[in-house]
Amino acid sequence: MPVKYRRCLKAMLFSALLLVALFNLWSPSSSLGVDIRPRQGSPIQKLLSGKIQQIMSDYSDINYKVKEKVACQLAQNACVCQAEEETFRLPFSDLVFPRVWALNLQHAFLGMHPDPESVKHHRAEEYDLFLRRSYSPADMLIIAEANNPLQFPTQGVDVQPLKTIVIPGLSLRQEGRNNYMVQLTATLGTFDIAATVDKVSVKGMGEKNISLSSPVLSALNRQLQFVTYTNTMFHPKTTDLVQFGTEGHQSFFTIKVGHRVVPKLYNSGQSKGYNITSLVTIATKTFLRYDKLKDLIDSIRQFYPTVTIIIADDNEHPQPVTSPHIEQYIMPFGKGWFAGRNLAVSQVATKYVLWVDDDFFFTANTKLEKMVDILEKTTLDLVGGAVREVTGYTATYRHTISVEKGGEEGDCLHMRNGHHHVIEGYPNCVVADAVINFFMAQTDKVRQVGFDPRLSRQAHLEFFIDALGTLHIGSCSDVIINHASKISLPWTKTEKQKAYEQFRYSSTSTDNTIHNEVFYFKNRLKCMTSH
């Protein structure tokens, strides 16, 4: 072939390849824009709200008599910030009858703020944004009306993003008509049919609105067994509201759209019994107490010679702690308590993490296997133990926490000493909402909650407040760790001890402000009451 023809051919071939490549590289996704502003409410949602108004019949002409005992338990949406009144005062009455105190956060935080009105406004804005972002049609109230000829799924239908499923359970139960017709409408997806049935007419296949009709009811119902839903508007986790209707009747149900959950399983090896080294990492934070830290480590090694210990260290002049199976992390000086806790747990590579303070020490009663056992065999995410003082006094610091809705000013949070139930099969263990600072937990769940790094000095219950609704918490009084003695006469205290106490217990007004800001702003509370 002449040279110039060969060149021409090569050029054409190259251009063709280039075009095909460009076509291939051009992303094969929908070029339609997707509106991902927090959703206000689709037309179907508005229709549903209207329907619910209709359904909720009015029987206001029929009298009733309030049953006080029950009616008073119903939420009022208007929590009041009130401490318990002092009924009587006796020596030691506070010890035997711990009174409930109340902290009015609006006064405590806004009262100290230079510009309270704009903080209130900013909090309201952030909360509104939070509500709109977390809103889902899955939370809407839907009421199935009575005597509805439609049969449909009310929950349990889910589809992965951009994938297709058959909708289970759709059916029409009517009689004596010439023609039977149903319609389906959705917002985030389309309908189609996976198979065709004779004598059924289908309109709108591949669209957001499909209608199916037939003079033969059984044929229509057979066809309904093949109706599919395809999610077309990608979202990693949302809900589509579907309207399913026939003449004179409308039903609503939701389809969950979301990625299949990829689990986080831990390979701790196969062994009879619990291999604590494979299953557990011990985490602690240290400051100005290397001597106590050393005692802790030595005591751990007596019982668990190869378990990994992670130390978050924010000393001004850190000393290296170098032993096998120890990881030390140096933080900016005085960065703080919860920052150190968050750091330590961020480094854990085992299924469970055990939190200990740097002035604890292990004894033969510190049986980590017991904690692993209850975490493996129940739905608990976290289990606290007991801390024994040198006097013999042992504390579990069990608390219950409840949140009472409060309206625009924020909610009320109530903390009380105590627990909810004893755990069957574990007579020394109970279910609670907060426990002492000696606990073992599922690493991933603790990281999901996190320790707020802004809390630099004293903090404890803040973690459990952030954990509400996420962690299932227990407490066992038969797993005991010892607390290094705090009893020391003023003239025997070492310089280090004095320095530590100076740093830790001299809470400045800045610290208080941060705490109040966390409760008032971050957690949107108006009031806290506690023993």
Residue from 47, 83, 119, 181 binding a copy of itself (CB under 8 A): 119
Our measurement of the distance from residue 202's CA atom to the centroid of its chain's CA atoms, rounded to an integer in Å, reads: 43
Output the smallest distance, CB 420 to a copy of itself, in A: 4
For residues 130-189, which are near a copy of itself according to CB under 8 A? 130, 133-134, 138-157, 160-166, 168-169, 171-173
For residues 92-111, which are near a copy of itself according to CB under 8 A? 95-97
Residue from 27, 40, 53, 509 binding a copy of itself (CB under 8 A): 27
Q: Tell whether residue 431 is a contact of a copy of itself (CB under 8 A).
A: yes
Q: Using the minimum distance from each CB to a copy of itself, give the nearer residue, 31 or 492.
A: 31
Burial classification of residue 57, based on how many CB atoms lie within 10 Å of its CB (0-12 exposed, 13-18 middle, 19 or more buried) = exposed
Residue from 100, 102, 395, 468 binding a copy of itself (CB under 8 A): 468
SS3 state at 259: coil
Q: How far is CA 223 from CA 180, 182, 229, 426, 522, in A?
A: 12, 11, 14, 53, 52
For residues 55-94, which are near a copy of itself according to CB under 8 A? 55-57, 59, 62-67, 70-71, 73-75, 90
For residues 345-374, which are near a copy of itself according to CB under 8 A? 345-349
Strand partners, 439: 355, 384
Residue from 84, 86, 94, 115 binding a copy of itself (CB under 8 A): 115
Q: Using the minimum distance from each CB to a copy of itself, give the nearer residue, 9 or 18.
A: 18
Spatial distance between the Cα atoms of 285 and 340, rounded to a whole number of angstroms: 6
State whether the Cα torsion 147-150-156-160 is positive or negative: negative
Spatial distance between the Cα atoms of 341 and 295, rounded to a whole number of angstroms: 20
Tell me which stretch binds a copy of itself (CB under 8 A): 15-23, 289-297, 355-363, 490-498: 15-23
Q: Tell whether residue 32 is a contact of a copy of itself (CB under 8 A).
A: yes
The answer to whether the beta carbons of residues 341 and 285 sit under 8 Å apart is yes
Instruction: List the one residue out of 287, 389, 297 whose CA is nearest residue 339.
Output: 287
Q: Using the minimum distance from each CB to a copy of itself, give the nearer residue, 6 or 486.
A: 6
Instruction: List the one residue out of 175, 185, 166, 203 whose CA is nearest residue 245.
Output: 185
Spatial distance between the Cα atoms of 527 and 531, rounded to a whole number of angstroms: 14
The answer to whether the beta carbons of residues 44 and 251 sit under 8 Å apart is no
Q: How far is CA 8 from CA 5, 48, 127, 308, 334, in A?
A: 5, 66, 66, 69, 73
Tell me which stretch binds a copy of itself (CB under 8 A): 22-30, 293-301, 481-489, 500-508: 22-30
Q: Using the minimum distance from each CB to a copy of itself, give the nearer residue, 188 or 366.
A: 188
Instruction: List the one residue out of 74, 103, 100 whose CA is nearest residue 87.
Output: 100
For residues 483-512, which are near a copy of itself according to CB under 8 A? none
Output the smallest distance, CB 269 to a copy of itself, in A: 7
Residue from 420, 493, 496, 504 binding a copy of itself (CB under 8 A): 420
Q: Using the minimum distance from each CB to a copy of itself, give the nearer residue, 107 or 335.
A: 335
**Amino acid letter at 410?**
G
Residue from 77, 470, 494, 510 binding a copy of itself (CB under 8 A): 470
Spatial distance between the Cα atoms of 191 and 185, rounded to a whole number of angstroms: 8
Residue from 12, 16, 80, 422 binding a copy of itself (CB under 8 A): 422
Spatial distance between the Cα atoms of 259 and 311, rounded to a whole number of angstroms: 36
For residues 182-241, which are near a copy of itself according to CB under 8 A? 192-198, 218-219, 221-223, 225-226, 228, 230, 233-237
Residue from 7, 46, 421, 493 binding a copy of itself (CB under 8 A): 421
For residues 394-413, which are near a copy of itself according to CB under 8 A? 398, 400-403, 405, 411, 413
For residues 247-276, which are near a copy of itself according to CB under 8 A? 251, 253-254, 258-270
Tell me which stretch binds a copy of itself (CB under 8 A): 176-184, 288-296, 339-347, 357-365: 339-347
Output the smallest distance, CB 291 to a copy of itself, in A: 22
Q: What is the DSSP letter of 108?
A: I
Spatial distance between the Cα atoms of 457 and 311, rounded to a whole number of angstroms: 17
Q: Tell whether residue 317 is a contact of a copy of itself (CB under 8 A).
A: no
Burial classification of residue 195, based on how many CB atoms lie within 10 Å of its CB (0-12 exposed, 13-18 middle, 19 or more buried) = exposed
Q: Which residues contact 349 (CB under 8 A, 6 or more apart)?
A: 281, 308
Spatial distance between the Cα atoms of 496 and 276, rounded to a whole number of angstroms: 34
Output the smallest distance, CB 311 to a copy of itself, in A: 10
Number of residues that bind a copy of itself (CB under 8 A): 181
Q: Using the minimum distance from each CB to a copy of itself, give the nearer residue, 272 or 487.
A: 272
Q: Tell whether residue 284 is a contact of a copy of itself (CB under 8 A).
A: no
Residue 119 host element (H or E) = helix 116-134
Q: Using the minimum distance from each CB to a copy of itself, give the nearer residue, 2 or 236.
A: 236
